[in-house]
Amino acid sequence: MSDDQGVRLDRWLLAARFFKTRHLASEAARRNHIVVNQQRAKPGKRVFIGDRVSIRKGLLTYEIEIIDLAEKRLGPALAAALYQEDDDSCERRRLRQEELQQQRRAGTAHGRPDKRQRRQLTKFKNL
C-alpha cells in the first residue's frame, strides 16, 4: 500500500493483531488508550510508516514504530512484521508481567478456609 495516503489507525491496529476486532480498536482509540506521535488519536486518524504509537492494553503498554502498512487482518508472522517494538518497552512490559504474576501467586487462596480460619474470619468481621 502506498504510504502517501496512510491507513486508518483502527484498521492498522486490527491488521497488526493488537485487537481482535475493529470495534475494539476503535473503542481503545476513543478512550485515549492509543497515542500516535505523542498526541491522542481518534480511530480515523491516518498513520504512516515511521509513526510512533503507544498502545495501552489493560495494565500493559506497547511502544512501537510502524514499519509497514496494511488494512486487512494478517497472519501472526506477517502482522509482527508491520511494527517494531522498542527494547525498553519490551523490558518494561516483561517486568510488569512478572510483577502481576507474583501478585496473583501471593493473593491466591488455597481452597476453602478450615475451622480455625473461619473462626478468625468471624472474629474479624464482628469487630
Task: State pLDDT tens for residues 3-25.
Answer: 568 899 999 999 999 999 999 99
Structure confidence at residue 103 (pLDDT)? 84
pLDDT band for 106, please (50, 70, 90 cuts).
confident
Confidence of residue 34 (pLDDT cuts 50, 70, 90): very high
Number of helices (H), then strands (E), in the chain: 5, 7
Q: Domains in the chain, please, with CATH?
A: 7-107 (3.10.290.10)
pLDDT digits (tens, 9 = 90+) for 43-92: 999 999 999 999 999 888 999 999 999 999 989 999 999 999 988 889 99
What would the mean pLDDT of 92-98 be, rounded to a whole number? 91
**pLDDT in the model for residue 107:** 67
**CB 29 within 8 Å of CB 69:** no
| pLDDT value at residue 63 | 93
Q: Of 41, 59, 58, 51, which is closest to residue 82 (Cα–Cα)?
A: 51
To the question of pTM greater than 0.85 for the whole model, the response is: no
